[in-house]
Structure 1
């Protein structure tokens, strides 16, 4: 390899290494030797002159912010609100479970509450006393009459306008206490279901 080629190769290597260095270290000096060879270096020497090197700025595409968990939760909530599934529940609110009711006439006020979602139309209810239908209609409560003394089991069924059953309450057990064992209202089935009147 000739001296000129060697010099050119060294010069190219120095220039590449210098220009690829960080901007804070990009001080380049040029020196002309006695034989006319031009040498570039990052060290200032006698007889060298500083060469101005332009800084190169790289541009990057902006980074998209990832969706936060709260945003994800919001989307899930929106999807849940658009869900058209039917939800319904019903519970007997009065009397309380295992309540003792003192009534010589066997009178008991029964009330219930329903909670529905995505249910259209009018709701209707059935009150069952000791597995016998005691009331059917839209009222949210009834008054039972002439219940005989002892234990009774209450349960309410919820229906939509088309007659489809939506929910059934838990069974509420009550105890009727009367002053006398004798009760003219006693019948063979132990409950007078004809004595129920609706409450609005």
Structure 2
């Protein structure tokens, strides 16, 4: 019973508009209020004066085009193979890389040898290294945007570089 009475009061209060009073002050300025003043007169509100608005929601857009950060890039070192032994007295090495999907505009690849950038960033998937010292090395290729954000990295690739002698002609030139 109380719920019915409460609902009925809510419906009646929502359907009855509040009275609006209008008055002019001593400076000739017009004021409106919901509280009566000494020289105020009630204003009759027509249905045409009440504001109503409808909200039109735009149709749902189809899937938005993915930005570079939303695309999952994959960088893979194709060669040399994992734990490959490379025999080169001059310390020359070629690294081949694959990027999937296609390299985005403005992005470049950097090759890190033992955590240090070995060559200038480039778009070509073939890196030519020279003067690498013998021993174990870890290779990683990063796909980097123009502002330096890394989009993807390859898995580290461990290789071994063997040289016949530390005293090879190429190494003597470095000393």
Question: TM-score normalised to the size of structure 2?
Answer: 0.54
3-state DSSP of counterpart to 1:87? coil
Kindly indicate which of the two structures has a greater share of residues assigned to helix: 1
Q: Take 2:77 and 2:172, find their aligned partners in 1: how far apart are those partners?
A: 25
Query: Which residue does the alignment assign to 2:106?
Result: 122
Q: Which residue is equivalent to 1:155?
A: 140
RMSD over aligned Cα, in angstroms? 2.6
Conserved? CA contact 1:125–1:138, under 8 Å: yes
Q: Which residue of 1 aligns with 2:117?
A: 133
Match of 2:158 in 1: 173
Structure 1 residues 163 and 93: alpha-carbon distance in aligned structure 2, compared to 1, 3 A threshold: same
Which residue of structure 2 lines up, in the alignment, with residue 28 of structure 1?
Answer: none
Aligned-partner Cα distance in 1 for 2:136–2:153: 21
Cα gap change, 1:179 to 1:120, in 2 (>3 Å): closer
- The CA distance in 2 between the partners of 1:154 and 1:90, in whole Å, is 12
**Structure 1 unaligned runs (5+)?**
1-78, 189-200
1:106 Cα offset (Å): 0.8
Give the corresponding residue for 1:99.
Answer: 84
SS in 2 for 1:179: coil
- Given that 1:109 and 1:143 are in contact with CA atoms closer than 8 Å, whether structure 2 keeps it comes out as yes
Q: Which runs of 5+ in 2 are unaligned?
A: 1-61
Which deviates further from its counterpart, 91-100 or 155-164? Answer: 155-164
**Aligned ranges for residues 26-175 of structure 1 at < 5 Å?**
84=66, 85-116=70-101, 120-135=104-119, 136-175=121-160
- When normalised by structure 1's length, the TM-score is 0.47
Deviations 1:110-131 (A, max 9, x none): 11111137x7423301100111
Q: Distance in 2 between matches of 1:138 and 1:177?
A: 29
User: What is the deviation of 1:93?
Assistant: 0.6
Larger Rg: 1
Describe the superposition over 1:72-122 as per-residue Cα deviations: whole angstroms up to 9, x where unpaired.
Answer: xxxxxxx8x7673321110111111100011011111111111137x7423
